[in-house]
Amino acid sequence: MKAVTVLGSTGSIGISTLDVISRHRDNYSIYALSANTQVDRMLSQCQKFLPEKVVMVDHDSADKLDKLLKNSEATSHIKVLSGAKALESIASSDKTDVVMAAIVGAAGLPSSLAAANAGKRILLANKESLVMSGDLFMQAVSDAGAVLLPVDSEHNAIFQSLPENYQSGHSSQGINKILLTASGGPFREFRYEQLIDVTPSQACAHPNWSMGQKISVDSASMMNKGLEVIEASWLFDVPASMIDVVIHPQSIIHSMVSYNDGSVIAQLGNPDMRTPIAYSLAWPERIESGVSQLDLISISQLNFEAPDKKRFPCLQLAYEAIEQGGNAVTTLNAANEIAVKAFLEEKIKFLDIPKVIEFCLEKMDNLELLNLDIVFESDQQARKLAKQFIIDNIKI
């Protein structure tokens, strides 16, 4: 029986993780769950999975949940904690074997890193951990003997398509290219002029995947793919120049690896996050995920095209940031988070998102990421710069 901690259990990845676990209750138990403010959903999860601990980052939400749990004998034993530091404590606890790191954005880095330092099996759905502090994070994984398994469908597909003995941090073995697929998002066929006035609701209406708002906007701007290029570079120890983005609207091929002998190995499946979650949870075994089997006959056709970096400049900005190195990727991520939040709040337009990011990349000093203090300092400086740029330069 493996004990699992789910960081971000009320989000889409967390919900899918618990769905997979519910199908294998003889093999997995829940040690701890975490969320920010979604008390009602967390209450329901506690009633079903009976964790030992729950973290609500928001203190008021923690107090509310604690009172509700104490009203029932079945849940009165559950200990409710609050605050960001509590996330690190459940991620590194001796009582947990597996940590699903599914907190969105920079907020997920400290707890993901705590799991790495504690030598856990980490199911990484928080790509920002590697984007912000790739070298430091991968070193922590290596030093502590942690097992890092990517949950993003694309990186999970790459992992499945690599040689069986390939491990993160090892040199490539006959690999020519990593082909990172992208759906193209909801605006794939939009002309540039059509992108000027798109709304947050349009950006969040992904044609294939059910995701949270932030990652949906990132998919629409193709920044999500840019962040995935950076993540893949760290995960698989390859330069960004060896990673090509391929638009694949059907989201059936989740990514591919091209080899020197001319072979291309791909992982296919229906677009459902429970597949990579189940694979990572049980690796090297495979377990039932609840996802229906792929019917290639009914699909009948798979299409591919090159990304348009002029219409979607966020992708190009990501390549430039990783080429620049140092804290440029931290700046990229921080500026993007601020810009996406502003867009969702209708304070800026969709096409302003790359403007905010480009400005921050130009203005921020480039620093080597020697420790986490520099990472977080760069993150905070970039956020302040992005907010000020929006106030000073962008008018709705």
For residues 228 and 180, the answer to whether their CB atoms sit within 8 Å is yes
- Predicted confidence at residue 117, as pLDDT, reads 96
Task: Please report, as a single letter, which amino acid is at residue 22.
Answer: S
DSSP string, 34-102: EESS-HHHHHHHHHHH--SEEEESSHHHHHHHHHHHHTSTTTTTPEEEESHHHHHHHHS-TT-SEEEE-
- Predicted confidence at residue 166, as pLDDT, reads 78
Calculate the alpha carbon distances from 136 to 8, 29, 140, 288, 293 in Å: 23, 30, 6, 34, 39
133: confidence class by pLDDT, cuts 50, 70, 90: confident
Tell me the pLDDT of the chain averaged across its residues: 93
DSSP-derived letter for residue 273 is T
Chain centroid to Cα 144, Å, comes to 22
- Predicted confidence at residue 64, as pLDDT, reads 97
**Mean pLDDT within 325-346:** 94
CA separation for the pair 105, 78 (Å, rounded): 27
Residue 168 has pLDDT above 80, yes or no: no
**Mean pLDDT within 100-110:** 90
Q: Could you give the percent of the chain with pLDDT greater than 70?
A: 96
Q: Which tens digits make up the pLDDT trace of 211-251?
A: 678 888 998 999 999 999 999 999 999 999 999 999 999 99
Question: Which residue spans of the chain are classified as CATH 1.10.1740.10?
Answer: 325-393
Q: How many Cβ atoms from other residues are within 10 Å of residue 259's Cβ? A: 17
- Among the residue ranges 9-18, 26-35, 370-379, the one predicted with the least confidence is 370-379
**Mean pLDDT within 40-52:** 97
Q: Which uninterrupted H or E stretch holds 277?
A: helix 274-282
105: confidence class by pLDDT, cuts 50, 70, 90: confident
For residues 106 and 334, the answer to whether their CB atoms sit within 8 Å is yes
Query: Token digits for 30?
Result: 């829940």
Calculate the alpha carbon distances from 210 to 121, 196, 215, 304, 352 in Å: 26, 24, 10, 22, 25
**Mean pLDDT within 308-327:** 94
Residue 192: what are its φ and ψ, rounded to 5°? -55, -40
Task: Please report, as a single letter, which amino acid is at residue 20.
Answer: V
396: confidence class by pLDDT, cuts 50, 70, 90: very low
Query: Token digits for 145?
Result: 């003997």
Residue 304 has pLDDT above 80, yes or no: yes
- For 38, residues 6+ apart whose C-beta sits below 8 A from its C-beta are 10, 61
127: confidence class by pLDDT, cuts 50, 70, 90: confident
Residue 364 has pLDDT above 80, yes or no: yes
Task: Please report, as a single letter, which amino acid is at residue 351.
Answer: L
- Least Cα distance to 396 among 342, 353, 347 occurs for 347
**2-150: CATH architecture:** 3-Layer(aba) Sandwich (3.40)
DSSP string, 103-146: --SGGGHHHHHHHHHTT-EEEE--THHHHHHHHHHHHHHHHHT-
pTM score above 0.85:
yes
325-393 maps to CATH 3.40.640.10: no
CA separation for the pair 8, 36 (Å, rounded): 8
Question: Which residue spans of the chain are classified as CATH 3.40.50.720?
Answer: 2-150
